[in-house]
Structure 1
Amino acid sequence: MELAAEAISGHPARHRALIALRAAPSVVLVLSAAVIVATSPGGHFGLALAVVPFLAAAVHGVQATALIGALTVGTYAGLRHWQSEDDTDVWLIKLGLMAATAAVAVLISQARVRELALNRSRDTALTLQRGLLPRDFPATSAAEIRYRYVPADTAAGVGGDWFDVIPLSGARVALVMGDVVGHGLHAAATMGRLRTAVHTLADLDLPPDEVLARMDDLVVRMGHDEVGREPGASCLYMVYDPVAGTCTMGNAGHTPPAFVSPDGRVEVQPQAQNPPLGYGSAPFAPVEVSLPEGTVIALYTDGLLDLRHREADDAVAALTALLGGGSPSHSRYGNPNDNSDHSRLPGARGAHEPAGPGPGADSLERMCDRVYAALPPEHDDDAALMLARTRVLDADHVADWHLSGQPEEVAAARSALVGRMEEWGLGELAFTMELVVSELVTNAVQHAAAPVGLRLILDDALVCEVSDASSTSPHPRRAEPWEESGRGLFLVGQLADRWGTRYTPTGKTIWAEKYL
């Protein structure tokens, strides 16, 4: 009722109604006492005052209820003067009953206030979490995305489950799934901090193991700042490359991903022995797998497995059966005789683009629906599922050249670039990208080590990548007017829409994108 009162307090008429509602218990107390005094009943009509504390408990907080209850008991004691009843023992019993009703009303008011506080905290945490989670994913040619998210159905509040899809350079994409320890507003706020950190680290083009190592340091610092709270979060960070068809992943104590091959076979990645984030100094060795085109990558949280009520092996087996096309009734995810309507669960659903009529889009939707429908009606942990169907860029959209690192090859690189862009029908951008390639290849020849590689990727943007064997990253600087050099990267930044550097096991790659 207090929540409703807050919602209507802005309107003058409703504000007056709210004041009258809050004054109702006191008015009833005064009127009841006046009626009893006027009629001078000789029976037990005075006990009608016992309803006043309960009325106060339904309207006021604990302190106001206790005050009105005390006034009610005092009023009943004062009415002794007008009552014709001479039996003191009976009157004392009635007075004790009146005091007991006032005490019970205070307890009811405490329970009601606590329930309102829990509901307000849960609603706030749920609003915060839904605001921090992505509503939609950016379109990417690397994978088709579908997801489901179901908040916990418990008084403890929502948890810290989160997921994300982050476009990277070179047409790659990062798939992220995490789970923060605990429930409530703190878990949702921690989830938001970790998601922001992942976006920042992904923008630096760091490999999965380094992303998790830096996030581990962040969680450790958060634990030092918040004394008394248990730090910890699990995270799975995957980078899929549609050019090479490979997926590199790092796991920090999270549930392992599942891979559904185009022929329907389901394989679960072996559980990594890495601890969750927050333990410090833990190595997160990356794992690389090759995936055929059309493979579905399934990322999920432990709430989807319902591990509090089932063995881990049984839960994983049930999930793989559902992902492979099995019916929920054939798994231990649901009771085969349960005909309850699971659609009442408040599950979020989404994709990076509207579901189309194609079989691939429908297949992902059906897979999500099968897993979603198998959730138990009551669950005490958040459940998140994200499916990504991989795509591979064909050879017509990728061009590679290997250079020996000699200065005369800069002109050959420009010529090869212009010729391929003419084939792709992008002649109007040839001059701009020719300048970009000229600067990047020249820097690689003069300041880095051979071999030098040049790669063009035709995607939603035209991506130019220059690789070399040096691990030294160049930094743009603002050259003075009298200086003859130092403007190369500044020029690249002005001509390209985005550019950056990522490190590889053999050196580094400098990339630049021009939006089409």
Structure 2
Amino acid sequence: MAPQEPAREAPPPPLHGVVAALIDEQGLISHCTPSLAELLGRTAADLTGTPARGLLHARRPARSGDPSGGAPGGRVMPLRHRSGRPVDVWVRLYPLSGTTAVLALGLTMEALSAWSDESALGRALLTQQAWQIAIHGPDLRVRRASPAVARAGRPSAGGDDPLCDMPSIEGGGTGADLLRQVMETGTPEVAASAVLCAPRPGARDRLYSMTAAALHDFLGRPDGAISSLIDVTERYRSMRQLDLVYRASHSIGGSLNVERTAQDLVELLAPALGDLAAVEISEAALRGGEPPSTVQGLRGDFRRVAVKHTHGPWPANQLQAGELLPHIADQPGFRRLERGEVLVAENPHEYAAFLGGDPGSARMIPDGMHASIGAALVARGRVLGYVQVYRTRQPYSFDGQDAKLLKEIVTRAALGMDNARRYTQEHRMAVMLQNSLLPPVSGSTAAVETAGVYLSAEGDAGVGGDWFDAVSLSSLRTALVVGDVIGHGLGATATMARLRTAVQTLSDLDLGPDELLARLDDLVHRMAEEAEHPDTVGASCLYAVYDPVSRRCCLASAGHPAPVVVLPDGTTRSIDITSGPTLGVGGMPFEVTEVELPPGSVLALFSDGFIEATSTPGGGDDLHGRLRDACRPGRTLHGMGRELTAPVRAAPHPARDDVTLLLARTRTIPAAHMADWRFQPEPTAVAHARELVRDRLRQWNLEEALFSTELIVSELVTNAIRYAQGPVGLRLIRDRVLICEVTDSSDSQPRLRRAQTTDEGGRGLFLVAQVATRWGSRYGMSGKTIWTEQALAPAESH
């Protein structure tokens, strides 16, 4: 709407600027108007009775015609001003009936020029052929019009004007509303867009740029309006097409999410093409799988994922977002859609016929639908889904240009969706790979109960290189591991997989934390040498081993944050460990820190990403407070982990680094479930050891394990006395399994071998391996320990 104009001055009255004189039979001026006397600098009395020819200027002859293109039939005469200067006046003589007297009427050149311009403007507008000009009376009927008005089927004079029924595109209303507003306010309307609907079905609607201004009579009273219509159909459509294609290239395909891309598509199409828009996607495409190459009817395998209604919420009686499409039998139109064609329906009946008339398809036809247009989302020969656009309030149909525009947009959207689908497929494989590499979120052993949390820095759409682990070791011990590989993405995940596998392998060797990190450091160093960019390969790691028998925890760190322990009484403290260099630096030893943890203590191991993402001003003290609040009595470890990572989950954006947290609640083995003896290296010690073991197993009601345990003890104690120096230790531990440990001072590694028929020995470990579930050896500060495990029935393990 144009801004309000200032108050308009009233137009000059009719015959404004006209001068007149009455010339009698003798050529004398008998009467004159005061305006003539004023024009010549005289009075009426001075002019009365003077010869009319005496008013002509002697030095300038009279000019016939009108050089400015004014009214014909007169001439321009130079009259003499009282001062002697000439005054040009256009004069026309009118004879009076019954006498030779004449009436002379004249116009000044200024008035003649203004009359000539206004008359020429009116004639030019009303006779030109290019666009439609019409003068409307107060009743909006046409009084006068240009030839183009009649050619457009509108009345050139009188009659009802179709312009009055033209709906406006921008602000609603019709052409009649706009003309009345112009006449009431006096404010012109410039380039308002309106639609002249086609007079018959199948014909093409036309778009016009409409300009209107109010008309006033000579007294300044409203007297109608003038309207101008210019056909801008092609220009409007071209501009809209360019605009939509530009917006489509910037707004569609930017997300690697199929549903988000579908929503971006409907947001673009409504209201650009219609009032309602909907997108249906194949169930396979939503899962990241391969969509079909052809569709033999709809059988619940397509889901509506995005809808948009320009004028309010999506209608409740329509198929909603998230619902499956109804069963629709195969239609010939499906083949056309799969070939990339766009299908247009001129009315609801035609659209219903395309859907096959199935009762369930009624929920796909909006109330008041005038027309619909649809296309298939086809990319790389696969049918990802369908797009539908409906017009309900817009009363004009879709045409070929709309179809070309929709096909252009849908083609771009289909490629974006297919990229999102393929990304979803690859991402799910990557996440599946990483999840397969990580341990279960929660676990339970005789030593600890554990719960872990891992949040990628790229949110649900990413994978990284952080990991945690809980590895069961010999003699009911458990190793707790947290690591952080440099970088993100699949490369970091692959490095993490190699390191986690190496940690598990080295853990099975029962290496101490310091020696295990040293071996792991060598591995990372070799990996860096193999990499194209060695500086991008590295990791930090914390390795801890908790023994539920001694309740002691041994820890070593390779550049990783120190863990925090929450004691049973609620107090917290950081474990003061001496951190070594990050893995891959090489050449530096790692130190072991040993602490005693009461049963029920919660040990928190985490990455630096956890500290950064959850910390507030206050740093470590704040971390201790949050751990103390989360580890309230009665809380599960899983609940503690979710509470501690809640700030990361609630943040609007993913954390800058992967967030990893491992919580472990310590347990202990009751003293009644253990037995510990020491023997001097004498042959009688073997029989004494068997006797003590028999008594203890009877006390534990484990008579079924007597034979196998006596055999294990006999062989291991005998070997220790035969090959070792100094006392021999024997320990039994009863839990879910029965553990037997024999410790001696020898550093020799026991080996399992098959004895030959003629060999006198070498069968001891072979027999032990046959009766034990697992067996192995580990080294201590001095000497070694050979251990075995035997499975117990559930009733015996309590």
TM range (shorter): 0.7 to 0.9
SS at match of 1:6: coil
2:658 is equivalent to residue 303 of structure 1: no
Q: 2:778 corresponds to which residue?
A: 502
Match of 1:235 in 2: 541
Q: Distance in 2 between matches of 1:48 and 1:22?
A: 14
Residues 157-203 of structure 1 show CA distances to partners (whole Å, capped at 9, x for unaligned) of 32111111111111111111111111111212222222111111111
| TM-superposed deviation, 1:421 | 0.7
| Contact 2:454–2:661 (Cα < 8 Å) also in 1 | yes
Residues 227-306 of structure 1 correspond to what in structure 2 (within 5 A)? 227-228=532-533, 230-270=536-576, 272-306=578-612
Matched with 2:670 is 394
- Encode CA deviations 1:362-386: one digit per residue, 9 max, x unaligned: 2534422320223276323322222
| Cα distance between partner residues in 1 of 2:467 and 2:592 | 21
2:615 and 2:622 in contact (8 A); partners too? no
Q: TM-score, normalised by structure 2?
A: 0.48
Q: Which amino acid aligns with 1:208?
A: P
Contact 2:552 2:596 in 1 (8 A): yes
- What's the counterpart of residue 57 of structure 1? 412
2:629 is paired with a residue whose SS is coil
1: CA distance between counterparts of 2:559 and 2:341?
57
Counterpart among 264, 285, 290 of residue 6 in structure 1: 290
Which residue of 644, 657, 663 corresponds with 1:371?
644
CA-atom RMSD, angstroms?
Answer: 3.1
Q: CA deviation at 1:315?
A: 3.8
Name the counterpart of 2:522.
217
User: Pairwise mapping of residues 472-483 of structure 1 onto structure 2 (< 5 A)?
Assistant: 472-483=748-759
Contact 2:443/2:450, CA 8 A, preserved across alignment? no
Shift in Å, 1:395: 1.2
Higher RCO structure, 1 or 2 (CA under 8 Å, sep 6+): 1
Secondary structure (helix, strand or coil) at the match of 1:362 reads coil
CA distance in 2, matches of 1:310, 1:196: 35
CA contact 2:681–2:725 (8 Å) conserved in 1: yes
Matched residue type, 2:505: T
1:87 is matched with: none
The reply to whether residue 172 of structure 1 matches residue 467 of structure 2 is no
Aligned to 1:331: none
Q: Percent identity?
A: 44
Q: What is the alpha-carbon distance in structure 2 between the residues aligned to residue 126 and residue 264 of structure 1?
A: 37
Distance 2:336 2:722 in 1: 80
In 2, Cα distance between equivalents of 1:260 and 1:248: 17
Preserved contact between residue 432 and residue 495 of structure 1 (Cα < 8 Å): yes
* 1:391–1:26 CA distance, 2 compared to 1 (3 A): same
Of 468, 474, 487, the match for 2:744: 468
The verdict on how the C-alpha distance between 1:17 and 1:216 changes in structure 2, with shifts beyond 3 A counting, is farther
Provide the residue aligned with 2:788 in structure 1. Answer: 512
| Aligned position for 1:72 | none
Q: Which residue of 2 aligns with 1:195?
A: 500
1:412-446 CA-partner distances (Å, limit 9, x unpaired): 11111111111111112111100100000000000
Per the normalisation by structure 1, the TM-score is 0.73
Match of residue 152, structure 1, among 439, 457, 471: 457
Q: Secondary structure of 2:726's partner?
A: coil
Compare 476-485 and 374-383 and name the one that shifted more.
374-383
Q: For 1:262, give the aligned amino acid.
A: P
Contact 2:340 2:407 in 1 (8 A): no
- In the alignment, what sits opposite 1:206? 511
Of 277-286 and 369-378, more deviation after overlay is shown by: 369-378
Q: Over residues 296-335 of structure 1, what are the superposed CA-to-partner deviations in whole Å (9 max), with x where a residue is unaligned? A: 1111122211269877xx44332211111179xxxxxxxx
1:23 aligns with 2:340: yes
Cα distance per residue 1:211-260 (max 9 Å; x no partner): 11111111122222221261111111110001111000111111211111
Higher helix share: 1
Aligned residues of 1:121 and 1:185 also touching (Cα < 8 A): no
Moved more, 142-151 or 417-426: 142-151
* TM-aligned CA distance change 1:8 to 1:436, over 3 Å: same
Separation in structure 2 between the aligned mates of residue 395 and residue 52 of structure 1, nearest angstrom: 78
| Aligned equivalents of 2:339, 2:654: Cα separation in 1 | 37
In 2: Cα distance, 1:394 partner to 1:171 partner: 13
Deviation (angstroms), 1:20: 4.0
* CA drift at 1:152: 2.7
CA contact (8 A) 1:121 1:184 kept: no
Q: Please say if residues 121 and 157 of structure 1, whose CA atoms lie closer than 8 Å, have aligned partners that are also in contact.
A: no
Q: Which 10-residue stretch deviates more, 232-241 or 361-370?
A: 361-370
Alignment partner of 2:433 out of 121, 128, 140: 128
Residue type of the partner of 1:368? G
Matches within 5 A, 1:95-110: none
Partner-residue secondary structure (3-state), 2:753: coil
CA drift of 1:292 comes to 1.4
Tell me which moved more, 158-167 or 244-253. Answer: 158-167
Q: Deviations over 1:278-307 (max 9, x none)?
A: 222231111111111211111112221126
Gaps of 5+ in 1: 28-44, 62-111, 328-358
Q: Secondary structure at the match of 1:278?
A: coil
* 473-482 or 318-327: bigger deviation: 318-327
Counterparts of 1:309 and 1:326 in 2: how far apart (Å)?
A: 14
Asked if the contact 2:556/2:579 (under 8 Å) is kept, the reply is: no
Cα distance in structure 2, aligned partners of 1:456 and 1:401:
9
- Report if the CA contact (8 A) 1:124-1:185 is conserved: no
- 1:260 maps to a residue whose letter is V
Partners of 1:261 and 1:55 in 2: how far apart? 61
The match for 1:35 is: none
Distance 2:550 2:608 in 1: 31
Separation in structure 2 between the aligned mates of residue 316 and residue 475 of structure 1, nearest angstrom:
49
Query: Counterpart in 1 of 2:65?
Result: none
Is the 1:266–1:324 Cα contact (8 Å) retained in structure 2? yes
Aligned residue pairs total 416
- Cα offset for 1:56? 2.5
* AA of the residue aligned to 1:399: A
Aligned pair in 2 of structure 1 residues 198, 441: CA closer, same or farther (>3 Å)?
same
Match of 1:30 in 2: none
> SS of the counterpart of 1:306?
helix
Structure 1 residue 26, shift from structure 2 partner: 13
Q: Which amino acid aligns with 2:609?
A: G
1 CA distance for matches of 2:750 and 2:687?
Answer: 22
CA distance in 2, matches of 1:389, 1:429: 31
Distance, in Å, in 2 between the alignment partners of 1:449 and 1:26 is 93
Structure 2 segments unaligned to the other structure (5+ residues): 1-284, 299-332, 345-399, 793-798
The structure with more strand, counted as a fraction of residues: 2
Where in structure 2 are the equivalents of 1:84-99 lying within 5 Å?
A: none
Alignment partners' CA distance in 1, 2:287 and 2:630: 45
Aligned partners of 2:579 and 2:590 also within 8 Å: no
C-alpha distance in 2, partners of 1:18/1:501?
Answer: 70
Counterpart AA for 1:427? E
The reply on whether 1:447 has 2:714 as its aligned counterpart is no
The answer (yes or no) to whether the contact 1:181–1:187 under 8 Å persists in 2 is yes
Moved more, 152-161 or 267-276: 152-161
Aligned equivalents of 2:571, 2:563: Cα separation in 1: 14
Q: Kindly indicate whether the alpha-carbon contact (under 8 Å) linking 1:257 and 1:269 is maintained by their aligned counterparts in 2.
A: yes
| Contact 2:572-2:624 within 8 A present in 1 as well | yes
Per the alignment, in what secondary structure is the counterpart of residue 406 of structure 1?
coil
Q: 1:513 deviation in Å?
A: 0.7
1:291 is matched by which residue type in structure 2? L
Q: Distance in 2 between matches of 1:409 and 1:309?
A: 59
Deviation, 1:47, is 10
Q: Which residue of 2 aligns with 1:75?
A: none
Query: What amino acid is the match of 1:58?
Result: A
